[in-house]
């Protein structure tokens, strides 16, 4: 499939999409249509982090096929297509996840009912958005965990700040994704924070830095 042409079609179909690019381990970043947002080198680092995060998350959590990271003015949406092929889109926050999913399905000629019946061929793993109710969404979970009145807010913020010292700005992206999954799939308590910390520590490549991060976090968790 000509993914570059499909990427152009997706971007052209929705005015809220500011740009996008494609990535495979073999070709790296290609088809870059995110001019003015970031250069190829920075986009490559993002793609590598997303790929690594997916690999790590698949060990702890099942059916993880895409990521969505919200920044101040843009949302970065990363979707696994097949065999290491990624599609990345930058879009405005006003564009809903369901609209992106539908647009990608149409552009790639994915039959929605077929995807539901055959999970091995499912390219979009995000579940349908629930009807308005009291059930918390992923963003609600993170907001609850980070709310000022939450007992977890202070230690989580300290963990995020400490992680950023070792891996830089991408720590924000990693923190949000892992913290959301932790909040959804585990009992988010102070006692369970060491497990989350170990997942974050795996993102630090340097052994000495990793040990320093774990030691610092362990020390202030004891204080909590």
pLDDT in tens, 21-31: 999 988 899 99
Residue 158 has pLDDT above 90, yes or no: yes
What pLDDT sits at residue 138? 46
- Measured between alpha carbons, how far is 48 from 8 in angstroms, rounded to an integer? 22
What pLDDT sits at residue 112? 40
User: Alpha helix locations (H) across the chain?
Assistant: 3-13, 40-60, 97-107, 112-117, 138-146, 153-167, 170-185, 193-201, 207-223
What pLDDT sits at residue 18? 92
pTM: 0.50
- Measured between alpha carbons, how far is 167 from 83 in angstroms, rounded to an integer? 27
So what CATH class is 3-121? Answer: alpha beta
Residue 162 has pLDDT above 90, yes or no: yes
Q: pLDDT tier at 212 (50, 70, 90 boundaries)?
A: very high
Strand partners, 91: 17, 75
What pLDDT sits at residue 115? 38
8 A C-beta contact, residue 33 and residue 20: yes
What pLDDT sits at residue 106? 81
- Measured between alpha carbons, how far is 79 from 188 in angstroms, rounded to an integer? 27
What pLDDT sits at residue 124? 32
Q: pLDDT tier at 74 (50, 70, 90 boundaries)?
A: confident
């Amino acid at each position: 499939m000509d993914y570059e042409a499909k990427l152009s079609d997706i971007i052209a179909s929705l005015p809220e999409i500011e740009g996008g690019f494609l990535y495979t381990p073999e070709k790296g970043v290609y088809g870059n249509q995110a001019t003015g947002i970031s250069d190829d080198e920075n986009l490559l680092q993002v793609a590598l982090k997303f790929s690594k995060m997916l690999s790590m998350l698949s060990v702890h959590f099942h059916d993880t096929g895409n990521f969505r990271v919200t920044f101040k003015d843009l949302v970065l949406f990363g979707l696994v297509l097949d065999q290491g092929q990624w599609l990345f889109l930058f879009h405005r926050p006003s564009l809903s996840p369901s609209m992106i999913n539908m647009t990608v399905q149409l552009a790639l000629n994915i039959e929605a009912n077929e995807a539901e019946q055959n999970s091995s061929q499912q390219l979009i793993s995000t579940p349908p958005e629930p009807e308005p109710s009291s059930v918390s969404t992923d963003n609600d979970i993170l907001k609850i965990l980070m709310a000022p009145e939450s007992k977890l807010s202070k230690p989580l913020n300290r963990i995020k700040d400490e992680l950023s010292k070792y891996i830089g700005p991408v720590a924000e992206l990693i923190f949000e994704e892992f913290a959301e999954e932790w909040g959804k799939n585990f009992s988010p308590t102070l006692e369970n924070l060491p497990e989350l910390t170990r997942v974050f520590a795996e993102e630090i490549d340097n052994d000495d830095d990793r040990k320093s991060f774990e030691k610092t976090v362990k020390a202030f968790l004891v204080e909590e």
